[in-house]
Amino acid sequence: MEQPKCAHPQVSVIMPAYKEEQVIASVIGRVREVMDNTGRSYEILVVDDGSPDNTAKAAQEAGARVVSHPYNIGNGAAVKTGIRNAKGQNLVLLDADGQHPPEVIPALLEKLEHFDMAVGARSRNSDTSLHRDFANRIYNELASYVTGRQIPDLTSGFRAIKGHIAREFVSLLPNTFSYPSTLTLALFRSGYSVAYLPITAAKRQGKSKIKLIADGSRFFLIILKIATLFAPMRLFFPVSLAMFLAGLTYGLVKIFVLDAPYGPTSAMLITMSVLVFLVGLVSEQVAQLRFDSLGRRIEAGLPEDCKAPEDAHKSLENKV
């Protein structure tokens, strides 16, 4: 689809940052060097998530446009602020800690010519910890099951996405580190195309903001929650089937093996399996209606890409 002509930049590079005073200037410098060679108009937008150090000042001195939170809200909240304030037709999400190679940005943007979102999937050569790799593998398998498509890296925060799609999904994103998984599942559920480009992530500079036990368990619960939001029957049907088979097997064993009367336990399990299945079926219909409505809102907002993002977002809200 031909992009409307406008004065806004073609690309907005969004960098959420928290306590990255030591490294953010060098990352911005690498991004500027890469983007200058692409021939595309661009802006670099840093969202300082209430850093107590001089992250915002260092980013501004390096030439980025800076939006600051008054206090620390969360990595996902910083990304949402960046999406709402970005002026570009296409958006690139990039961590400010030096893990993601800015040199891959042109390749991600090229993918947007044929896909709606392109994700930098971390390869095995990436400098990441073993326990995090193991956790990510579990998340990837769960997400692949929910979507029915192979997802090599669910949690990667390095991605490029068409601006009008990102702005419409922004209200679904959580304020925590799990925004990449929510965004990925939302696009798959809505029938958008997603490409994966292998990258080699470097070791982050400074201390990680992710707490293994607290954030890991919370992230797993969020995966289950968004799975029920985007593909309810993928979770409800297996549970319903397991309960039905357990009730049926228990009843048959009592009758034919133990020579005992058919008891209420079997009947309860079978009845509950039917109820769980019906709840899943209704949830699936509700999810489908939600995303059908969302799709119509996105289509209605396409001609307004060249307006200021804030005005376009308000216009879409008024149409609903």
Q: What residues contact residue 205 under an 8 Å CB cut-off, 6+ apart?
A: 22, 23, 97, 98
Distance of alpha carbon 155 from alpha carbon 110, whole angstroms: 21
Instruction: Say if residue 202 is in the same domain as residue 244.
Output: no
The single-letter DSSP state of residue 254 is I
2 pLDDT more than 90 = no
- In what order do the strands lie in the sheet containing 117-122? 65-68, 42-48, 11-17, 90-93, 159-162, 117-122, 194-199
Give the pLDDT mean for 52-74: 96
Final residue belonging to a domain, choices 227, 242, 259:
227
Question: What type of residue sits at position 146?
Answer: V
pLDDT at 172 (0 to 100): 84
Instruction: Say if residue 221 is in the same domain as residue 240.
Output: no
Whose tokens are 């890296």? That residue is 153
46 pLDDT more than 50 = yes
Among 1-5, 145-149, 239-243, the range of highest mean pLDDT:
239-243
Distance of alpha carbon 196 from alpha carbon 218, whole angstroms: 26
Comparing CA positions, the residue from 38, 39, 49 lying closest to residue 14 is 49
* 25 within a domain of the structure (yes/no): yes
Write the pLDDT tens digit of every residue in 105-164.
999 999 999 999 999 998 877 655 565 667 778 778 888 888 888 899 988 999 999 999
Q: If DSSP states are collapsed to H, E and C, what string results for 128-180?
A: CCHHHHHHHHHHHHHHHHHHCCCCCCCCCCCEEEEHHHHHHHHHHCCCCCCHH
Give the domain range for residue 244. 233-319
* 4 within a domain of the structure (yes/no): no
* Counted domains in the chain: 2
Give the pLDDT mean for 244-265: 87
* 59 within a domain of the structure (yes/no): yes
The CATH number of whichever domain residue 195 belongs to comes to: 3.90.550.10
pLDDT at 304 (0 to 100): 44
Comparing CA positions, the residue from 161, 155, 160 lying closest to residue 178 is 155
Instruction: Say if residue 240 is in the same domain as residue 102.
Output: no
Instruction: Say if residue 189 is in the same domain as residue 77.
Output: yes
Final residue belonging to a domain, choices 208, 227, 246:
227
Mean predicted lDDT score pLDDT of the chain: 83
